[in-house]
Structure formats: structure tokens, C-alpha cells
Amino acid sequence: MANIRQVASEAGVSITTVSRVLNNKPGVGEETRQRVLAVAQELRYHSSNHLPASHPQVTHLGFLNPTFPQEITSNAFYADVLHGVEQICRELHINLSFNTLNYAGSQLRAVPSSIKDNNISGFFVVGGRIRQEVIAALEASTLSPFVLVDNYFPECGWDAVMVDNLRGIRLSTEYLISRGHRHIALIGGPNHASIVERRLGYQETMQRHQLTPLIVTPPYLSYEDGEWGVTEILRQAPHTTAIVCSNDEQAVGALRTLRELGYSVPKDFSLVGFDNINMVQFTNPPITTVCVDRVTMGQVAVQLLLDRIKFPDRPVMKVTMGVKLIERASVTTPRAHEIVAPALKEEKTS
């Protein structure tokens, strides 16, 4: 039996328009009205088969994410987002379908199979590395709405759930400054929305205090990128006393490399992460970080998507999740002693 989404697709109109026609509501042109009625009759779809647009029946939602180095359930950030989505879907008896996006740069290589599934009422597009052109290509392939999670664009046409990245990085940088640090470096990352905002917040905070920013930019946000970032900071600016990382995985990698080089955290270098993944409370020392409630991000994304399905013509909404600083043992006042650069340490031991 056909559903309202199939009628909308065949008639080339929105679900809202189909609902208005079948419920004899005003606001639809006569030509469009007749076309919708003809399609509904051809597909043997009747208004008694569905709920009005104000209470759409949602049984399936889709979850789209890029290819991660590991399964999404092993990703320290997005696994919690998924957990939040699943919690609400389970409570509402909504089935969740998963697809990994196949794209390269701004080019969508293949449309996910779930996009063509008429039972799916809307999609979560999760991950900051997905470019606007890819999402636009997805949108052109379906009538179902999207909610972006941890992604946003200027003049964004889609609902989105983001972290207050600017405030988070300001909190961590201001905290280091309040402890007396003046030589603070940032390990950056790829140019996706959250990391760009964190970089901007760091630069603005440093400049507001008339301090000189130092940013090193690895390609990704992994442990290895944190390790590379530390060695690059030591090469460029060994007078640095504090390091801000773009996420916690970088911070763990940075901590490991500093210890391998014989430095102490926080005696030689203070270190701050971002996201508050579970691991950083168990490192030695536990890492000061910015707390992001990732489970709630997922829950809010479900609420936002269901609201979009219910009110398809409402304005685009961007929800910004609040953050807070979690103080642990990886920060203290700046060292008063000189440190030996890594190359000099190697020469002394050879």
C-alpha cells in the first residue's frame, strides 16, 4: 500500500501539500490539487491511511555518517551521539537505519540505499567532515528532511545541532591565562565547522589579551596528530608553557609524546583537551578539558528532526549545546625553569 511520501514524490510536491489536499485545506492551487488527487487515486492512497501533517506517523529514521577509521561505535565522540539518538528512538518505537556515506571531497560518489527508502521520514547527517555540496546532493535525492550533527555552514539551509565551540575554547584559554600562562599554543586540525570555530576562539582570546597565538595544524584529530603537534610546537616555540588541543584524542597523544621526551605534565607543560571523552579522566595525570554532552546532542537531534517532520515549513533552526570546563590535574602555573629542546636532549644522551 502506498504512503504519503510516495504520493508526494510522484506528484512532485511536499508532504505538507499532499496533506493539505487530502484534508481539503486551503493554500494549494487548483492545478496542483488535481494532480495530487490524481496521483493518490492512481496509487490507491486515501487520507484515512495516514495522520494529518500536524501528527505525522514516524516509524523509521536514517543515520548517515562518513567513513571513520574505526566503527562509529568505537569513535569516542560520535558513539555517544549515536547512543542519544538510539535512546529517544527506542522510547518512541522508531527504527533506525544506518548508512556510511561514499564521497570524496565535495563529490557524492553514490546515493545511500536508505535515501530511496520511502519508509524513512528523515535523516541525521553526522560528522564535521561532510561538505555542503555532499549534503545538497543528498537532499536532491529525497523529499525527507535532514538534521546536521556537529556540522554547519554559512547560510545553512538545514537544521543543525552544534557545540558552543567558541565559548569552550575561550574557557580553556582564559583558564590557562588566569594561571599565569602567556605562551600558549594550539594544536589545530581539519577545516570543518567545529574545529574552525575552536581555532577562531583561541585566536580571539589570545589577541584580546595581547598575546601571540601559535597554531600548528595536523590533518586530523587523532592521537598521532596530537603527537605530531607537540613535536612541531617544541620545534617552533620551545618557550611554550601550555598546549590547547582541538580534541581529547589529540591531548592524549600530546601527553604520551611529552612523557616519552622526558617532560612532565603539568610541571613542564600544562595541557588542555576538548570534548571530555571517558579516557581523559584515567590518564596520568587526568586531563583538564571542555565537557560536551554528546548523548544530549543526539537526543536533541531527534527532537529537532521530529519537529521538522511535523512542521516542514518552519524556519531553519540551529541548536547550540552549552559547554563547561572540567578542571583536572594537567594544568598548573608556568614553569620557572628552562627546558632542553628535544634535539639537545638527544645530543646529551648520545
pLDDT value of position 54: 38
**Domain ranges for the chain:** 4-42, 60-162+295-322, 165-292+327-335
Alpha helices in 43-156 (DSSP H): 78-91, 132-139
For domain 60-162+295-322, give the fold: Rossmann fold (3.40.50)
The structure's pTM equals 0.81
Distance CA 151, CA 163 (A): 9
Query: Per residue in 204-223, pLDDT tens?
Result: 999 999 999 999 999 999 99
Cβ count near 32 (within 10 Å): 16
Distance CA 341, CA 255 (A): 16
Q: Are 57 and 118 in contact (CB under 8 A)?
A: no
* Reported confidence tier of residue 45, pLDDT bands at 50, 70, 90: confident
Rounded to 10 deg, the angle between the 15-22 and 4-11 helix axes is 110
Pick the CATH number of 165-292+327-335 from 2.60.40.10, 3.40.50.2300, 2.40.128.20, 3.30.1280.10: 3.40.50.2300
Name the strand (E) or helix (H) holding 169: helix 165-178
Query: Per residue in 308-346, pLDDT tens?
Result: 999 988 999 999 999 999 999 999 999 988 887 665 454
Q: What angle do CA 339, 345, 350 make, to 5 degrees?
A: 160
Same CATH fold assignment for domains 60-162+295-322 and 165-292+327-335: yes
pLDDT value of position 68: 67
In the predicted model, what is the mean pLDDT of residues 21-45?
80
In the predicted model, what is the mean pLDDT of residues 93-99?
94
Distance CA 187, CA 225 (A): 8
Distance CA 181, CA 119 (A): 56
Of 4-13, 45-54, 218-227, the poorest mean pLDDT is in 45-54
**Which segments within 101-210 are labelled E, that is strand?**
102-104, 107-110, 120-126, 146-149, 159-163, 184-187
Highest average pLDDT, of 29-33, 53-57, 224-228, comes from 224-228
pLDDT value of position 344: 41
Of 34-43, 136-145, 331-340, the poorest mean pLDDT is in 34-43
Distance CA 254, CA 227 (A): 5
pLDDT exceeds cutoff 50 at 3? yes
Report the amino acid identity of residue 7.
V
pLDDT exceeds cutoff 60 at 48? no
pLDDT exceeds cutoff 60 at 52? no
